[in-house]
Structure 1
Amino acid sequence: MNRTMKFNIISLLFISIFVLSCEDDLDVEPNNAQTEFDFLNNPDNAVQLVNGVYNKLLDYNMYSFPWIGITSITSDDADKGSTPTDTGTDKHKMDNLTFSAVDVSFNDVWRGRYDGIYRANNALYYLELLTIDPVLKNRLIGEVKFLRALFYFDLVRCFGGVPIIVEKIDINDSETINQVVFIRKSKQEVYAQIELDLADAIEKLPLRGQYSPNDLGRATKGAAQALLAKAYLYQQKWQESYDMSGEVITSGQYALLADYAHVWREIGENQSESIFEVQATLTKGIRDYTNVQGPRGTPDLGWGFNTPSVNLVNSYLPGDVRKEATVIFVPSVLWDGFVAPNTWNNPRYNYKAYHSSLAESWNDDKGETAKNLRILKYSDILLIRAEAGFQIGMTSEAQDRINEIRLRTGLDPVDSVTLESILNERRWEMAMEHDRWFDIVRTGTASSAMAADGKTFIIGTHELFPIPNDQIIASGGLLTQNPGY
């Protein structure tokens, strides 16, 4: 695809007045710094300010190795992979469900999201002060609120109740930090904030088709609606989830791709099935996302982590094309003609993370590939509609949405659905896409699912990940720990 159509998220102009994380403060000499007066009187800075929030999505502590570890390697869909002696620091603990509060992955995920929230809050503060076209201002505010909701959605799924920070924080204001930054709110309060941000974003954001090609990839009304439908699903607000997913479906903005295997390839980026993706380029990719999961051995394509499990492979029905599109089997010939040799260390790898050096944009830098990460997809919305519909007795609608998905799978349509069959369909459709752990936890099936994978899920503890010990120490003990850790 034409990558010049992706909106520019790589040329950040971080001005000292909106430095975006305590750790990354820029030391700018006074004679080189742009004053607040200059900044507020240059409307062109508004878009750049918001691009800085998007840019956070590319960082290593957002959707790379730490996220892969706690969302995928923990689940029955994946194993640690790599080599037996390469633990990935703590990924062997994720695989065995023996993790604890001191493991670095949890601290990375926590810090990544709060860095993003800090950026979002600063952006919102300065957007309100900027004198720019009100239509553009509203849209930009909507984009930032969508992103802030996304950050909180990740946090609440991982840790439950967390601190809610929705204002620009002075890092020297110890009183506010102690009362706001270090105090956990309830899970319900976090979801309420997510709903509030997304409701405002829905009002302010345009439809996908109303953006110019140069703004491809920005948050849209459909993205905010999709994330809200998902947030409702996690809270078992079935009617609200059913209605909101219906808004996305009836908008006419989205459709399934004809070929399931294309969804995660470059050819599928920002196409009709995409609702929201992290936008990557060759020079500014999602740091090490593909490298972490690339096949390891000879020839070496990556670190070899997060390999599809036998449990996942055996779960597919015969003839389901999604298995071959999700799992690289060794040996085999890949879609681009590359030969997957038996000199690789593992018998399976994640096909959805594979970035082709032969048939896709490539500059020989495995750490900065131009592969987008799908965060919200249309098939996810169809599955949400089906599950929520089933829960409120709309079984005919649930069946129709499942059959819509199965049209491209090589499987026959179903004559009826159960909750179990819907959740199975969700597993096969969304495999290796970082939802499986959360799905088995929220549906109460984690204990049995993990037992079938030979692992022990501790009821009353593993529903949440531990609050990072480093954060508890930094708070002086104000942050409380989750049960069992």
Structure 2
Amino acid sequence: MKFRHILILAAAFFALSCDQVLDKAPLNIISEDKVWNDAVLINAYIDRVYGEMDFLVRDGSGFEEVDPTSGLADEGRQGRNWHPLFFRWKAGLLDKDGGLLELWPYETIRKTNEFLEKIVSTNAVPEETKKQLSARIRYARALIYFNMVKRYGGIPVITRAQQIDDSYEELFVKRNKEAEVYDFILSEMDGIVADLPTSYPAAEIGYPTKYAALALKSRAAMFAASIATWGKVEIDGLVGVPAADAQRFWQASYDASKQIIESKAFSLYNKLPDNKSENFRQLFLDENNSEVIFSKQLTGVNVGSNYDLFMSPFQFCPGWGGSNTSVYLEMVESFENVDGTPGTLDKALATSKPWNLTELFAKKDPRFFATIYFEGDMWKGEAIENWGGIITPAGAKITSGFYEGRSAQGRSFSAGGYAGGQMTGFNVKKYLDDKLIPVDQGKTSVDFIVFRYGEILLNFAEAAFELNKPAEALDAINQLRSRAGIKTLATATRENIRHERKVELAFENHRWWDLRRWRIAEDAITRKFTGIYTFYDVTTGKFKIELNPDAVAGTPSSFQAKHYYLPITPGRIANNPNLGPENPGY
């Protein structure tokens, strides 16, 4: 099985791409006895659980999850008003009643618990197979709990399928302390790692391996350790992890990461060592490569996403979508030069004359060119044209209509104002498939990597540093810098470890959560961000750059202390009073 083989037909209907399943009724109208006495249906039950899991916002209707210090998703000039998290908070879309990034999937958790109870008595599969199937379900349940605890702190850890006639205490479960939830996740990974294989045959890629279990332990323990180190305990431990637990959680993350490293089962992707930028770009397109530990499998048919539709340059999209996520200049500057010097843009030089932007950024970390596209960058054999205006030979600036047959807005929408890419001058390239035809709804087929070896090296580096092992931390981050083609570091510091994590994992659904677990989001997010405008210069065929000092268009970003946790919400507490008290600040 691969996730790409799942057809989610409706909330209660699904089937595997397998002749044995297609002639069977949907699970919701199949008798319970039949499900648990049929090996194919047992596996289909597991696939349904995984099909219900959220891995990234890109699974949805187009809003792309973007680190608020890296870029913003917004096509406000078209009236869509797709803003990142802090804008939605400012607009009241995350308040005491909840909002963006909510996740409360206890229906799916109940399915996992029911599976673990029913699989015990079935004779449809051998005992050894039962262990592996149970391990797959326990992995899914633990991953769900991790995605919840990093949002809400303490939540109820429920490990049995509740029944309508259960007692009040069994039905209206209290929240576990945050540290207890993390301990549960780690203990579950310890409990299943021996029952999961090291790899699968091609037809089964997409299920978790023992290394996926270790990767989840590495990440979850790092989160718990971070909160113990930099957070604070409130409401009697329902949120926060005691400082006394920091050492053991750092050690758990370090140990799990080291097991993966020492297994030699994975290596940094390096198929194109002579082209560092293209090598890094292909890491995300060459599916199931040497660096991939666990990924969500996509086909672009029935199991796909809208990622390419919303993120590709405007001119390659079918009349809508495209260039959805603009990248701040501050993120661009985070990519150092290959010699290790800061990548800060020389603004006086940049605005002094027209530029070929590839030449302007020529000295940057090759990962920059694999992660971000910009004016004049090549895509599908053509130059990207998202400029915001034309400079005539007489020096006049035209920002609407046409000049000598050339659109003043490049080849993007011309509904007035600057194009989507012109909000900052930069857009996200990582994960985009330049061979995808057509670029349309649900057509993205590139797998989303949930865990990769590069992250494990960064987790290891962070844990090693906090455990006073700076030499080991330095070696880990220098492996990544060497692969990238950038000067290695002489010493490891907390700052440069975090910086390396920012650029290596940019737009992979990490940075936003990192800011929260380090408890630095208030300073990192509450500020203005900048960009550039580009104008096509007819005389030189290059681009005149102007600075955009306020890329958020007068809406200052804001992060408050209460936002380190999402609210449980009054509605949920009304349904189950034992979920109270509410998280601080709501």
Structures share fold, TM-score greater than 0.5: yes
How much has 1:450 moved relative to structure 2?
1.8
Supply the distance in 1 between the matched residues of 2:313 and 2:382 (Cα, whole angstroms).
Answer: 12
When structure 1 is superposed on structure 2, of 156-165 and 91-100 the one drifting more is: 91-100
- TM-score norm. by structure 1 comes to 0.83
Out of 386, 390, 394, the residue aligned to residue 469 of structure 2 is: 394
CA 286–225 in structure 1, closer or farther in 2 if over 3 Å, else same: same
Out of 171, 178, 181, the residue aligned to residue 187 of structure 1 is: 178
CA 315–452 in structure 1, closer or farther in 2 if over 3 Å, else same: farther
User: Do the aligned residues in 2 keep the contact of 1:222 with 1:275 (CA within 8 Å)?
Assistant: yes
User: Once the two structures are superposed, what CA deviation does each residue of 1:409-460 show, in whole Å capped at 9, x if it has no partner?
Assistant: 2211111110100000000001111111211221232222224555565553
User: Do the aligned residues in 1 keep the contact of 2:324 with 2:420 (CA within 8 Å)?
Assistant: no
When structure 1 is superposed on structure 2, of 472-481 and 223-232 the one drifting more is: 472-481
CA 477–169 in structure 1, closer or farther in 2 if over 3 Å, else same: closer
When structure 1 is superposed on structure 2, of 312-321 and 459-468 the one drifting more is: 459-468
* Structure-2 residue corresponding to 1:311: 330
Out of 184, 187, 193, the residue aligned to residue 202 of structure 1 is: 193
User: Do the aligned residues in 2 keep the contact of 1:9 with 1:51 (CA within 8 Å)?
Assistant: no
How much has 1:54 moved relative to structure 2?
1.6
User: Do the aligned residues in 2 keep the contact of 1:58 with 1:280 (CA within 8 Å)?
Assistant: no
Supply the distance in 1 between the matched residues of 2:314 and 2:86 (Cα, whole angstroms).
Answer: 17
Structure 1 position 442 matched with structure 2 position 507 = no
Give the letter aligned to residue 57 of structure 1: M
CA 79–15 in structure 1, closer or farther in 2 if over 3 Å, else same: closer
Give the letter aligned to residue 138 of structure 2: K
* Structure-1 residue corresponding to 2:456: 381
CA 333–116 in structure 1, closer or farther in 2 if over 3 Å, else same: farther
User: Once the two structures are superposed, what CA deviation does each residue of 1:184-222 show, in whole Å capped at 9, x if it has no partner?
Assistant: 2221121122112211221211112xx212111210000
DSSP 3-state at the match of 1:461:
helix
Out of 256, 266, 269, the residue aligned to residue 268 of structure 2 is: 256
CA 390–477 in structure 1, closer or farther in 2 if over 3 Å, else same: closer
Supply the distance in 2 between the matched residues of 1:127 and 1:67 (Cα, whole angstroms).
Answer: 38
Give the letter aligned to residue 442 of structure 1: R
User: Once the two structures are superposed, what CA deviation does each residue of 1:268-307 show, in whole Å capped at 9, x if it has no partner?
Assistant: x211111111111122335434444444577446265443
Percent pairwise identity = 26
* Structure-2 residue corresponding to 1:271: 289
How much has 1:142 moved relative to structure 2?
1.1
Structure 1 position 125 matched with structure 2 position 117 = yes
How much has 1:326 moved relative to structure 2?
1.2
User: Considering only aligned residues, what root-mean-square deviation do their CA atoms show, in Å?
Assistant: 3.4
Structure 1 position 105 matched with structure 2 position 105 = no
Structure richer in helix, relative to its length: 1
Supply the distance in 1 between the matched residues of 2:56 and 2:480 (Cα, whole angstroms).
Answer: 33
CA 167–468 in structure 1, closer or farther in 2 if over 3 Å, else same: same
Supply the distance in 1 between the matched residues of 2:455 and 2:562 (Cα, whole angstroms).
Answer: 28
DSSP 3-state at the match of 1:397:
helix
Segments of 5+ residues of structure 2 without an aligned counterpart are 15-23, 226-248, 271-278, 338-363, 387-411, 413-418, 530-555
User: Do the aligned residues in 2 keep the contact of 1:202 with 1:225 (CA within 8 Å)?
Assistant: yes
DSSP 3-state at the match of 2:488:
coil
Greater Cα radius of gyration, structure 1 or 2: 2
CA 308–125 in structure 1, closer or farther in 2 if over 3 Å, else same: farther
Supply the distance in 1 between the matched residues of 2:164 and 2:377 (Cα, whole angstroms).
Answer: 54
User: Do the aligned residues in 2 keep the contact of 1:80 with 1:91 (CA within 8 Å)?
Assistant: no
How much has 1:315 moved relative to structure 2?
1.3
Out of 319, 324, 332, the residue aligned to residue 377 of structure 2 is: 332
How much has 1:118 moved relative to structure 2?
3.0
Supply the distance in 1 between the matched residues of 2:420 and 2:64 (Cα, whole angstroms).
Answer: 19
- TM-score norm. by structure 2 comes to 0.70
Give the letter aligned to residue 54 of structure 1: Y
User: Once the two structures are superposed, what CA deviation does each residue of 1:386-425 show, in whole Å capped at 9, x if it has no partner?
Assistant: 1111111211111111111111222111111101000000
Supply the distance in 2 between the matched residues of 1:310 and 1:15 (Cα, whole angstroms).
Answer: 42
How much has 1:332 moved relative to structure 2?
2.2
User: Do the aligned residues in 2 keep the contact of 1:332 with 1:339 (CA within 8 Å)?
Assistant: yes
* Structure-1 residue corresponding to 2:73: 80
Supply the distance in 1 between the matched residues of 2:429 and 2:439 (Cα, whole angstroms).
Answer: 19
* Structure-2 residue corresponding to 1:285: 303
User: Do the aligned residues in 2 keep the contact of 1:7 with 1:217 (CA within 8 Å)?
Assistant: yes
User: Do the aligned residues in 2 keep the contact of 1:65 with 1:289 (CA within 8 Å)?
Assistant: no
Structure richer in strand, relative to its length: 2
Supply the distance in 1 between the matched residues of 2:492 and 2:502 (Cα, whole angstroms).
Answer: 15
* Structure-1 residue corresponding to 2:582: 481
Supply the distance in 2 between the matched residues of 1:67 and 1:87 (Cα, whole angstroms).
Answer: 10
Give the letter aligned to residue 432 of structure 1: F
Give the letter aligned to residue 328 of structure 1: Y
* Structure-2 residue corresponding to 1:349: 427
Supply the distance in 2 between the matched residues of 1:90 and 1:429 (Cα, whole angstroms).
Answer: 21
How much has 1:14 moved relative to structure 2?
9.9
DSSP 3-state at the match of 2:483:
coil
Alignment of 1:165-184 (within 5 A): 165-170=158-163, 175=168, 178-180=171-173, 183-184=174-175
* Structure-2 residue corresponding to 1:21: none
How much has 1:479 moved relative to structure 2?
4.6
Supply the distance in 2 between the matched residues of 1:29 and 1:45 (Cα, whole angstroms).
Answer: 10
Segments of 5+ residues of structure 1 without an aligned counterpart are 19-27
Supply the distance in 2 between the matched residues of 1:476 and 1:219 (Cα, whole angstroms).
Answer: 36
How much has 1:119 moved relative to structure 2?
3.0
CA 255–201 in structure 1, closer or farther in 2 if over 3 Å, else same: same
Supply the distance in 1 between the matched residues of 2:132 and 2:84 (Cα, whole angstroms).
Answer: 40
Alignment of 1:360-371 (within 5 A): 360=436, 362=437, 365-371=440-446
How much has 1:244 moved relative to structure 2?
1.1
Out of 450, 457, 471, the residue aligned to residue 572 of structure 2 is: 471
